[in-house]
């Protein structure tokens, strides 16, 4: 945390110095030896803004949006900035792309001082926006002298210019979505879900950075370089708030992990059981094309699904709840749900935990509605119980035999759709017990 604050402070000082230069240049009182408000100072101020914004990036969570980052928005604004009070500016496509790439990558490296982030990850995160900047800079700066775009931008800024630039930037951000999805860490979602999430993010959030970038570009001819810090300031405060929110989310996840290890630390379940069930549940949820938020809730619930065992008077042998009496399974689920609910931040997960013990037949016969996440937990837990211990006469490590045993409860204990997703996830190709299919790959 101290290294991160130091990095932000350094880039903040650099950005503040750029702001001072911009204000002095706008007032026509640049200090002796300082460059005038021309293309060089333009690139310097933008580099400071991009670097500062990229330093505020959040690397810890793949759920946070990068669409409204200060650095990314400043890079967009640079790519379409076409004039200052002194007249038109044409910094050149290569300079625009180079400054944007250097600022985004440099800020990403500084941001990584808080948590280990590889250079490849930093470059991968910056690359989609650099490509967008290159496209915009080529359209705006590369063809200023011999195209209708140049003729339009040389006119007095008006509604036509604003609408044109806004549509242009927004369209490029939509086209950026597939590339951004390819460089996204898909730990909790499938490739298809990653692409849909990136496109949805561009559609819903792309208008904010696009409109901010256009506003900066249109205001530059009147306000000069001081336009940049003034209009980016609200985004900077928003990004700092997002960073704080992500830190709180990280603390929450650490608390969930600590709670999930309690049954294991007390010797009530086999080592690594909660983590294995969580991984398998996430894979099943992906196979069923669930959304990111649902997958995260299922993962947390899976980590805590055996928490109720800490209150048992008589421990379950090997902690394998799959062979426990139905009443004991319901008690374990109820106690675990109550503990999760008592945290005040795991209400959705507590619902999944509480219903995990119920047989699928209750859902079919409308005795009680069982969330799909609970049905996934039941299947994932049963498979790990049956596969990793000598439970019910099965040899340990035999994933195929464990899946076959689950098929015996198909339609009564377990949701057939979830079991089929489990089979697909494991690469089993099994359609029912006794099919003689190839051995299931161990997850």
CA–CA separation, 68 and 239 (whole Å):
8
Structure tokens, 369: 């509605």
Domain identity same for 341 and 318: yes
Based on the domain organization, do 62 and 192 belong to the same domain?
yes
Structural domains in the chain (count):
2
Q: Is 422 helix (H, G, I), strand (E, B) or coil?
A: helix
> Six-digit token pair at 182?
């390819």
Domain end marker among 249, 279, 309: 249
Residue of 317, 312, 232, 318 whose CA lies nearest to 271: 318
Whether residue 232 is found in the same domain as residue 372: no
In a domain, 111, yes or no: yes
32 and 81: one domain? Answer: yes
Both 177 and 278 in one domain: the answer is no
CB 220 within 8 A of CB 227: yes
Angle at 48 between CA 46 and CA 53, to 5 degrees: 95
Determine, yes or no, domain membership for 40.
yes
Structure tokens at 38: 């021309």
Tens digit of pLDDT per residue, the chain (443 long)?
A: 444 444 444 445 445 544 444 444 444 433 333 334 457 888 888 998 899 888 877 554 444 455 668 888 999 999 998 888 877 777 788 889 999 999 999 888 887 775 556 777 788 888 999 999 999 988 887 655 555 566 666 665 567 788 888 999 999 999 998 888 887 665 545 677 777 878 888 888 888 889 989 999 888 888 887 888 788 877 777 667 766 766 666 666 777 777 777 788 777 878 888 889 999 999 999 889 888 889 989 999 999 888 888 777 677 776 677 777 888 888 888 888 888 888 877 888 899 999 988 889 888 888 888 999 999 999 999 888 888 765 655 666 667 778 888 888 888 889 999 999 998 888 744 444 333 333 333 33
Could you list the residue range(s) of the whole structural domain that residue 12 is in? 2-249
Residues 153 and 189 occupy one common structural domain? yes
Is 217 inside any structural domain? yes
CATH number at residue 274: 1.10.3210.10
Both 315 and 278 in one domain: the answer is: yes
Which of 217, 249, 281 corresponds to the end of one domain? 249
- Considering the domain architecture, whether residues 268 and 137 belong to the same structural domain is answered as no
Identify whether 369 is part of a domain: yes
Q: Is residue 298 part of a domain?
A: yes
168 falls within a domain? yes
**Distance of alpha carbon 96 from alpha carbon 180, whole angstroms:** 20
Single residue among 249, 272, 299 that ends a domain in this structure: 249
- Enter the pTM of the model: 0.60
Strands 87-88 and 83-84: antiparallel
Are 92 and 50 in a shared domain? yes
Q: What does the DSSP assignment read for 359-377?
A: -HHHHHTTSS---HHHHHH
Give the integer Cα–Cα distance in Å for 140 and 77: 11
């Amino acid at each position: 945390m101290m290294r991160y604050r130091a990095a932000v402070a350094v880039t903040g000082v650099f950005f503040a110095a750029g702001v001072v230069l911009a204000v002095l240049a706008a007032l026509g009182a640049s200090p002796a030896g300082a460059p005038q408000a021309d293309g060089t100072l333009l690139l310097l101020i933008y580099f400071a803004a991009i670097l500062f914004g990229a330093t505020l990036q959040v690397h810890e969570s793949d759920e946070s949006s990068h669409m409204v980052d200060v650095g990314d928005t400043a890079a967009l604004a640079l790519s379409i900035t076409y004039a200052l009070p002194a007249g038109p500016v044409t910094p050149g496509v290569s300079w625009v792309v180079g400054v944007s790439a250097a600022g985004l990558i440099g800020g990403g490296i500084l941001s990584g001082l808080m948590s280990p982030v590889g250079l490849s990850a930093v470059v991968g995160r910056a690359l989609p926006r650099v490509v967008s900047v290159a496209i915009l800079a080529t359209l705006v700066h590369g063809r200023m002298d011999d195209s209708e775009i140049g003729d339009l931008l040389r006119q007095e800024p008006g509604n036509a210019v604003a609408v044109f630039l806004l549509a242009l930037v927004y369209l490029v951000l939509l086209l950026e979505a597939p590339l951004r999805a390819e460089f996204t860490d898909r730990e909790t979602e499938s490739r298809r879900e990653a692409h849909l999430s990136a496109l949805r993010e561009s559609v819903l959030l792309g208008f904010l950075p696009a409109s901010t970038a256009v506003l900066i570009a249109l205001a530059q001819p009147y306000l000069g370089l001081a336009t940049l810090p003034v209009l980016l300031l609200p985004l900077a405060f928003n990004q700092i708030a997002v960073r704080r929110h992500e830190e709180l989310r990280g603390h929450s996840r650490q608390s969930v992990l600590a709670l999930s290890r309690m049954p294991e630390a007390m010797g009530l379940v086999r080592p690594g059981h909660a983590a294995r069930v969580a991984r398998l549940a996430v894979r099943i949820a992906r196979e069923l094309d669930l959304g990111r938020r649902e997958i995260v809730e299922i993962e947390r619930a899976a980590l805590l699904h055996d928490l109720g065992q800490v209150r048992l008077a008589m421990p379950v042998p090997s902690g394998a709840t799959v062979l426990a009496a139905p009443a004991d399974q319901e008690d374990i689920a109820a106690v675990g749900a109550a503990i999760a609910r008592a945290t005040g931040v795991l209400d959705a997960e507590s619902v999944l935990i509480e219903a995990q013990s119920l047989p699928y037949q209750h859902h079919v016969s409308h005795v009680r509605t069982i969330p799909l996440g609970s049905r996934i937990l039941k299947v994932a837990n049963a498979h790990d119980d049956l596969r990793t211990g000598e439970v019910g006469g099965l040899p340990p490590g035999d994933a195929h035999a464990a899946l076959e045993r689950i098929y015996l409860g198909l339609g009564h204990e377990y949701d057939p759709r979830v079991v089929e997703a489990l089979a697909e996830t494991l690469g089993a190709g099994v359609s029912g017990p006794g099919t003689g299919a190839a051995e299931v790959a161990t997850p």
